[in-house]
């Protein structure tokens, strides 16, 4: 669980996060949604320890970051997996080598053990046969699965995903969403996903933080986000033509 309390962050005179309170729950896919520039990435970077908040507290499983020693901060970093936008695989490395990379950085285990762990996660994301291939030799959806394998290879307690579906067709995007959700439940991870994709909200929106201008404007889950009367939320949700048409059709009883 990650809890943020009264989180504030400014850059120069620009007040970006204006006092966010939210609990990102363990074993759930926690989504951060909101318009471009609303502060989603800044919030995630604060939780990743990449930005220092000006005010407020971030607690990791009940322990405030400010109370962590340097060694504990290093330990916390090892407990974090990150799935970057676009996958960010190393083109010159094979699939196996890409997944091995964070293991090499953080563990001193024997090569045989590292290889076993890599095989295990590649098997889990259904890529057991692709270990020797290079990223350019596999599809975009497979590349995303490699990136997921790399993000979970160190058995993270916290998984951060920045727009995991960008650039994927809707069907593949759903496969990726479901894989992230399955792993979250299976390994009891606190997963935080930034998304613009309303299909993802429908699929895996178990706990949603909706940001507007650096404020938590709404929170809830997928069963509520399409039913709320809150105009700030409906303006955002139905800004997609498709969802607007579906709502209009429902209202007309079609
Ligand atoms: N390092 C930085 N220095 C100065 N300003 C920044 C920095 N990082 C973000 N900002 C500003 O903070 C605001 C919120 O940015 P953020 O990237 O969190 O938005 P976002 O909601 O993630 O948007 P998007 O959906 O487009 O990725 C923007 O105005 C941005 O310019």
**Tens-digit pLDDT profile for residues 90-119:** 999 999 999 999 888 877 788 888 899 999
Q: What is the pLDDT of residues 19-59, one digit of tens each?
A: 999 999 999 999 999 999 999 999 999 999 999 999 999 99
CA of 44 to the centre of ligand 1 (A): 11
User: What integer pLDDT is reported at residue 61 of this predicted model?
Assistant: 97
Q: What is the pLDDT of residues 5-18, one digit of tens each?
A: 999 999 998 999 99
For residues 224 and 14, what is the distance between their CA atoms, to the nearest angstrom?
A: 32
Measure Cα distances from 78 to 82, 105, 214 in Å: 11, 10, 28
CA of 41 to the centre of ligand 1 (A): 6
Is the pLDDT score of 247 beyond 80?
A: no
Which atom of ligand 1 is nearest to 45's Cα? 18
163-190 mean pLDDT: 93
Q: Please, what's the b/e burial string for 127-152 (b: 16 or more CB within 10 A of its CB; e: otherwise)?
A: beebbeebbeebebbbbbbbbbbbbb
Which atom of ligand 1 is nearest to 44's Cα? 18
Task: Tell me the pLDDT band of 64, cut-offs 50, 70 and 90.
Answer: very high
If phi over 0 gives left and psi between -120 and 50 gives alpha, with beta otherwise, what is residue 54?
Answer: alpha
For residues 48 and 82, what is the distance between their CA atoms, to the nearest angstrom?
A: 9
Closest C-alpha to ligand 1, atom 13: 37
Domain ranges across the chain: 2-79+157-251, 87-155
Task: Tell me the pLDDT band of 240, cut-offs 50, 70 and 90.
Answer: low
Closest C-alpha to ligand 1, atom 31: 37
Ligand 1 binding residues, C-beta < 6 A: 11, 16, 34, 36-42
Predicted complex: ipTM over 0.95? yes
User: What integer pLDDT is reported at residue 242 of this predicted model?
Assistant: 67
Pocket test for ligand 1, best of 9, 13, 40, 211 (most atoms within 8 A of CB): 40
Q: What is the pLDDT of residues 192-229, one digit of tens each?
A: 999 988 888 989 999 999 999 999 999 999 989 888 88
Which atom of ligand 1 is nearest to 37's Cα? 19
CA of 186 to the centre of ligand 1 (A): 32
CA of 95 to the centre of ligand 1 (A): 32
CB 231 within 8 A of CB 200: no
CB atoms within 10 A of CB 67: 9
Catalogue the E-assigned strands of 2-48. 2-11, 14-24, 28-34
pTM of structure: 0.92
If phi over 0 gives left and psi between -120 and 50 gives alpha, with beta otherwise, what is residue 240?
Answer: beta
137-153 mean pLDDT: 93
Which superfamily does CATH assign the domain made up of 2-79+157-251 to?
Answer: P-loop containing nucleotide triphosphate hydrolases (3.40.50.300)
Q: What is the pLDDT of residues 76-92, one digit of tens each?
A: 999 999 998 766 899 99
Closest C-alpha to ligand 1, atom 30: 37
């Amino acid at each position: 669980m990650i809890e943020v309390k009264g989180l504030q962050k400014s850059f120069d005179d620009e007040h970006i996060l204006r006092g966010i309170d939210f609990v990102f729950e363990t074993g759930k896919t926690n989504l951060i949604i909101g318009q471009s520039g609303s502060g989603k990435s800044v919030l995630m970077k604060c939780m990743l320890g990449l930005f220092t908040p000006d005010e407020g507290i971030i607690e990791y499983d009940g322990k405030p970051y400010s109370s962590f020693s340097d060694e504990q901060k290093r330990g916390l970093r090892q407990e974090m997996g990150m799935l970057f936008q676009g996958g960010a695989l190393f083109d010159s490395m094979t699939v196996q080598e890409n997944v091995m990379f964070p293991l090499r950085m953080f563990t001193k285990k024997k090569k045989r053990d590292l290889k076993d762990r890599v095989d295990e996660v590649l098997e889990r994301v259904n890529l057991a046969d692709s270990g020797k291939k290079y990223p350019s030799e596999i599809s975009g959806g497979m590349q995303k699965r490699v990136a997921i394998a790399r993000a979970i290879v160190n058995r993270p307690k916290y998984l951060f995903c920045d727009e995991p579906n960008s650039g994927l067709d809707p069907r593949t995007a759903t496969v990726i969403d479901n894989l992230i959700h399955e792993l979250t439940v299976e390994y009891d991870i606190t997963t935080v996903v930034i998304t613009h994709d309303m299909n993802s909200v429908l699929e895996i929106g178990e706990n949603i933080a909706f940001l507007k201008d650096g404020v938590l404007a709404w929170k809830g889950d997928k069963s509520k986000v399409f039913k709320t009367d809150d105009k700030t939320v409906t303006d955002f949700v139905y800004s997609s033509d498709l969802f607007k048409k579906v709502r209009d059709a429902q209202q007309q009883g079609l």
